[in-house]
Amino acid sequence: MSKDDDKELRSREWFARQDSYGFIYRSWLKNQGHPQRMFDGRPVIGICNTWSDLTPCNGHLRGLAEHVKRGVYEAGGFPLEFPVTSLSEPLMRPTTMLYRNLLSMDVEASIRSQPMDGVVLLVGCDKTTPGALMGAASVGLPTIVVSGGPMLSGRWKGKLIGSGTDVIRFKEAVRAGEMSVDEFMAAEAAMSRSAGSCMTMGTASTMASLCEGLGVALPDNGAIPAVDARRQALAFESGRRAVEMVREKLTLDKVLTRDAFHNAIVLNAALGGSTNAVVHLLALAARIGVPLSLDDWDSWGREIPCLVNLMPSGEYLMEDFYYSGGVPAVLRELSPKLRGEALTVSGRSIGAQNEGAEIHDSRVIFSYDAPFKPAGGIAVLRGNLAPGGAVIKPSAASPSLMKHRGRAVVFDSADDLKKRIDDPALDVDATSVLVLRNCGPIGYPGMAEIGNLPIPPKLLKQGITDMVRISDARMSGTAYGTVVLHAAPEAASGGPLALVRDGDLIELDVPARRLELLVAADELDRRRNALAPFQSPYARGWEKLYVEHVLQADRGVDFDFLVGSSGDGVPRVSH
Ligand code: FES
């Protein structure tokens, strides 16, 4: 691009001015050592960084940003890095999901209010990817995602151990008396031994991989380990591409089409990806104006087998996945099922981009014709217990429980669960259905990741390792079990989960996609009429805004007033 064909760059509204405003915009930036050449009409690329010391999974993103900058400079752009809210899955309370929409608002406002023509999103830990993408989608500039990449494989006592997944296993082992607390603590350092995000196919790896499926990241974004130099090269190339995308006017709406979401959902099934992806993609689609429903999740993913042998569904980790071919090899294997013409940020279609990819280790990545597990997708259940839908991940569940009828053991809240689950007097057996409510978007608030309720210790001692569990909560992408999640509408908004009583019969039929509370309709009406309406305990602040505006799980848990886009228009001057 020459200095003369930059008229459409929005950054020119700041930097091309010859008046006092232009003086101010350029002068203050020059205190960072930028020469006048940087203001000559070259594309300005904002590097939106979710780095934080308190988000250890993203702790290396300042360094990665330097590699993005190199690529931007090489392509003739002007990189400017800026921080946004970071969401720390390991440390934030009560749950990062409470703040995903806050990050999205921060990103949207930061992009629109400042002089940039394209954006690189530096993300990693679970909610940072959807939060940043949702905000960027509500602006719509050319946008490319660079994920921080997974940690190296955890290793302890000669065995692979996976983030999250083995924490849950270890916790259950301590509860069952099979592991000492000292051993439990010794395993910590062995698990998280390098920079990066969780190295199981949890939410972070799922979302980083789905960015390839959506076409918003370059190939291999999902799996290159955080500390592998090829991650830095990917960041470099992404910076380069961001500049080219501005020149090509390759805006986000040209990439995030309905076909892109189709491909991401198919990929999620093949990866045995996190159930959290359901709410994130629903919210993202609504931001960019693509119609997408829970039923699309079921119908597009239904026939797709799980191709990867990765924790929590399998035995390997993201490092193995990358060496075995990574996401491109899976996309290549899925090619007959993909909408191959969907455009990606590389400027090529997803089909063309991955056609040369190969599987290097068939123990980790399986072929479509001889898959790792037959059912990889997310099953969407409906019935009188979840008229708005609920989800289950069959690849992480027990086949023997896919059709099950059992008596409800109800926990009214997360606190109630903690108080009673270990009680030896709890009236529960292996056929019971554990029900947890008031943990949805409004009830918790923020939709807690506790839908995989622990197995009561007295059943663990009998060797029971899985049971049917139902809630309006989410679960960690690193968790597993026969767990029905995201029941909508949630109990706190008057959903039928609020009507269940101890001893009620519940029927789960995953093949038929049914979830029923086997209680007569007139009795349910009586219970509904006796329900006390939800009283929000929040008089001010973020929680008040959240509870008043959050949508249910079947609409992505976004805020009602954030759905859609406001475009990339340049705001008026401030003084
Ligand atoms: Fe941050 Fe898993 S806790 S990626």
Q: What is the pLDDT of residues 88-134, one digit of tens each?
A: 999 999 999 999 999 999 999 999 999 999 999 999 999 999 999 99
Residues 6 or more apart whose Cβ sits within 8 Å of residue 100: 87, 127, 130, 131, 134, 280, 557
State the pLDDT at residue 282: 98
Is the distance from the beta carbon of residue 90 to the nearest atom of ligand 1 less than 6 Å?
yes
Each residue of 128-181: pLDDT tens digit? 999 999 999 999 999 999 999 999 999 999 999 999 888 878 887 887 889 999
Ligand 1 atom at minimal distance to the Cα of residue 163 = 2
Per-position b or e across 87-125, b if 16+ CB within 10 A of its CB:
bbbeebeebbbbbbbbbbbbbbbbbbebbbbbbbbbbbb
State the pLDDT at residue 6: 57
| 89 C-alpha to ligand 1 centroid (Å) | 5
Report the distance separating Cα 387 and Cα 201, nearest Å: 29
Ligand 1 atom at minimal distance to the Cα of residue 55 = 1
Ligand 1 atom at minimal distance to the Cα of residue 478 = 2
Question: In this model, does residue 3 exceed pLDDT 60?
Answer: no
Give me the CATH topology for the region 379-535.
Answer: Glucose Oxidase; domain 1 (3.50.30)
Model confidence at 4, in pLDDT bands (50, 70, 90)? very low
Each residue of 322-333: pLDDT tens digit? 999 999 999 999
Is the distance from the beta carbon of residue 89 to the nearest atom of ligand 1 less than 6 Å?
yes
> Can you point out the beta strands (E) in 283-432?
379-381, 389-392, 403-411
Report the distance separating Cα 267 and Cα 215, nearest Å: 12
Is the distance from the beta carbon of residue 163 to the nearest atom of ligand 1 less than 6 Å?
yes
Is the distance from the beta carbon of residue 246 to the nearest atom of ligand 1 less than 6 Å?
no
> Which of 50, 96, 126, 167, when mutated, tests ligand 1's pocket best, judged by the most ligand atoms within 8 Å of its CB?
126
| 16 C-alpha to ligand 1 centroid (Å) | 42
Is the distance from the beta carbon of residue 126 to the nearest atom of ligand 1 less than 6 Å?
yes
Ligand 1 atom at minimal distance to the Cα of residue 88 = 1
Each residue of 448-484: pLDDT tens digit? 999 999 999 899 889 999 999 999 999 987 777 999 9
Each residue of 430-441: pLDDT tens digit? 999 999 999 999
Report the distance separating Cα 544 and Cα 541, nearest Å: 6
| 184 C-alpha to ligand 1 centroid (Å) | 19
| Mean pLDDT, the chain, integer | 95
Is residue 379 helix, strand or coil? strand
Is the distance from the beta carbon of residue 204 to the nearest atom of ligand 1 less than 6 Å?
yes
Is the distance from the beta carbon of residue 220 to the nearest atom of ligand 1 less than 6 Å?
no
Report the distance separating Cα 43 and Cα 12, nearest Å: 9
Contact assessment for residue 225 and residue 152, using Cβ atoms and an 8 Å cutoff: yes
Task: Single out the residue of 456, 458, 527 nearest to residue 498, CA to CA.
Answer: 527
Ligand 1 atom at minimal distance to the Cα of residue 205 = 4
Is the distance from the beta carbon of residue 237 to the nearest atom of ligand 1 less than 6 Å?
no
State the pLDDT at residue 169: 80
Q: What is the mean pLDDT of residues 261-286?
A: 96
Ligand 1 atom at minimal distance to the Cα of residue 124 = 4
Question: In this model, does residue 2 exceed pLDDT 70?
Answer: no
Report the distance separating Cα 323 and Cα 241, nearest Å: 25
| 205 C-alpha to ligand 1 centroid (Å) | 9
> Which of 51, 163, 192, 206, when mutated, tests ligand 1's pocket best, judged by the most ligand atoms within 8 Å of its CB?
163
Task: Single out the residue of 103, 108, 217 nearest to residue 564, CA to CA.
Answer: 108
Task: Single out the residue of 294, 328, 279 nearest to residue 449, CA to CA.
Answer: 279
Minimal-distance CA residue to ligand 1 atom 2 = 198
| Residue found by looking up tokens 């000559």 in the block | 40
Question: In this model, does residue 185 exceed pLDDT 60?
Answer: yes
| 35 C-alpha to ligand 1 centroid (Å) | 39
Using alpha carbons, list the distances in angstroms from residue 311 to 351, 395, 476: 27, 11, 12
| 284 C-alpha to ligand 1 centroid (Å) | 20
Is the distance from the beta carbon of residue 153 to the nearest atom of ligand 1 less than 6 Å?
no
Kind of pairing, strands 483-488 and 389-392? Answer: antiparallel
State the pLDDT at residue 1: 43
| 514 C-alpha to ligand 1 centroid (Å) | 32
| 463 C-alpha to ligand 1 centroid (Å) | 30
| 105 C-alpha to ligand 1 centroid (Å) | 21
| 511 C-alpha to ligand 1 centroid (Å) | 32
Is the distance from the beta carbon of residue 466 to the nearest atom of ligand 1 less than 6 Å?
no
Question: In this model, does residue 368 exceed pLDDT 60?
Answer: yes
Each residue of 394-406: pLDDT tens digit? 888 899 999 999 9
The separation between CA 512 and the C-alpha centre of its own chain, rounded to angstroms, equals 27
State the pLDDT at residue 7: 59
Model confidence at 248, in pLDDT bands (50, 70, 90)? very high
Q: What is the mean pLDDT of residues 226-251?
A: 98
pTM reported for the whole predicted model: 0.96
Question: Helix, strand, coil proportions of the chain in percent (round to 5)?
Answer: 40, 15, 45
Q: What is the mean pLDDT of residues 532-545?
A: 93
Report the distance separating Cα 415 and Cα 123, nearest Å: 32
What tokens does 351 get? 């089909």
Q: What is the Cα gyration radius of the chain? A: 24
| 364 C-alpha to ligand 1 centroid (Å) | 22
Minimal-distance CA residue to ligand 1 atom 1 = 125
Q: What is the mean pLDDT of residues 42-53?
A: 98
Ligand 1 atom at minimal distance to the Cα of residue 57 = 1
Is residue 485 helix, strand or coil? strand
Is the distance from the beta carbon of residue 432 to the nearest atom of ligand 1 less than 6 Å?
no
| 134 C-alpha to ligand 1 centroid (Å) | 19
State the pLDDT at residue 503: 98
Q: What is the mean pLDDT of residues 421-434?
A: 96
Ligand 1 atom at minimal distance to the Cα of residue 126 = 4
Half-sphere exposure of 517 (CA within 13 A, CB side): 29
Domain boundaries in the chain? 153-193, 379-535
